Copies of this chain bind each other. A is one copy, B any other.
Amino acid sequence: MSSGMDLSAKGIHATNAKGPFEATSFTRHQPGPKDVVLSVKYCGVCHSDVHAAKDDPSPEKFPVMPGHEIAGVVDWVGSEVTKLKPGDHVGVGCMVDSCLDCEFCKLSNEQYCANGCTMTYGGEPKHGRAGSETTRGGYSTKMVVTEHFCVKVPKDLPLEVVGPILCAGVTVFDPLVHWKAGSEHVKHVGIAGGGGLGHMGIKLAKSLGCEVTAITSSPKKVDALRELGASRVIVSSDEGAMKGAAKSLDLIINTISAPHDIMMYHALLRPNGTLVQLGLVGKPHSVCQVPMLMSRAGISGSLIAGMKATQELIEICTRDKIWPSVEVVHCNQIDRIYDELMSKSSMPKRYVLDVANTMDEYCSQKQQ
């Protein structure tokens, strides 16, 4: 079967860890009967993109075309696609395939697929629904994605805020739900880090009925975090404030992706509490066991969310108007944004590439 579609795409990729990004052209794989072809309108810039493109200099992983906070419009659907049609708004997050057969996939925990899910970029398409090459992400004008890994986006949710919900949003939403934020014994929730994930964490925890404490290393973010809904903001370098907050939180969602002293956050947990680490921190933590024993307070991690929870969050965000704070930027800002994210001074908002309106210009500028 051939879609008869033009599958040529323009995109932004890194060919090595040091230099600036480059423009490129390529062709997406032929879609099958369960696939969706979409024009990318916006793509958020996630901190994981920075890890993928900048942190690991191994030559075999390049080129990398990041982007897994993708919002677009459906151009074409295969004959077996049921929930989407051309013209629909659509979102694609961090995964584009998984086995769909193991117990975790069957629970819609595709992110923990026993056979390994295929990530939206840099992933190996081993399950047969994501083409035949290493996957390329949403810093590109076109995508071909199997319907299961697309979410339908209501038209009253602005398309430019969709992408960050699909990664930053679900990454904080899934652990809040998993650890029962808002329930009787989980009222006091901490959100550590005030960047792309942290700012969504504050909004979502508040909407779940929690009393939110934001913890930030940056005094200049205090007002912004309070405005987002935190009833208490602690600057982590303020030892007195950290001590004063000891044993006050039932759940902490820790979005910090740089190495940090994990026990400093653990000390804020009440008995039975959980500290959930979300950042891809490579350096091992030094973890003291005795405080864990003394309070039955644990440390865990969490990775994005499955497709069911992702669709659910899109609907919650639409209904309750919980929108990520975004700044839509021209594709030619990509290198500057990466520099800012690497400097750790990122503000509580997400940068979103205006792919539809600025990719062409970026590519022609680059080719001059």
Binding site for B on A (CB under 8 A): 104, 109, 112, 114, 175, 178, 247, 262, 271-272, 274, 277-282, 284-303
Contacts and interface: CB of A to CB of B under 8 A. Distances in A.
A178 B274 CA distance: 14
A287 B284 contact: yes
Contact of A303 (B285, B293, B302): B293
23 contacts: A112-B271, A112-B294, A112-B296, A114-B247, A274-B298, A277-B289, A278-B293, A279-B289, A280-B289, A280-B293, A281-B290, A285-B286, A285-B288, A285-B289, A286-B287, A291-B301, A292-B299, A292-B301, A294-B301, A294-B303, A296-B303, A299-B299, A299-B300
A290 B302 CA distance: 9
A301 B289 contact: yes
Contact of A299 (B280, B282, B298): B298
B288 A284 contact: yes
B301 A296 contact: yes
A124 to B, nearest CB: 16
Nearest to A292: B301
A266 to B, nearest CB: 10
Copies per complex of this chain:
2
A47 to B, nearest CB: 13
Residue of A274, A293, A302 with highest tally of chain B CB at under 10 A:
A293
Contacts of A287: 262, 284-287, 299
A316 to B, nearest CB: 21
A284 B284 CA distance: 11
B300 A292 contact: yes
A235 to B, nearest CB: 23
Query: Quick one: which of A104, A278, A294, A296 has the most chain B CB within 10 A?
Result: A296
A45 to B, nearest CB: 20
For A175, A281, A298, which residue has the most chain B Cβ atoms within 10 angstroms?
A298
Sort A-B residue pairs by CB-CB distance and give the 10 closest, nearest first. A298-B300, A292-B301, A293-B301, A112-B271, A284-B286, A287-B287, A293-B303, A285-B287, A281-B289, A298-B298
Given A104-B271, A287-B299, 4 more contacts: A112-B271, A292-B300, A293-B301, A299-B299
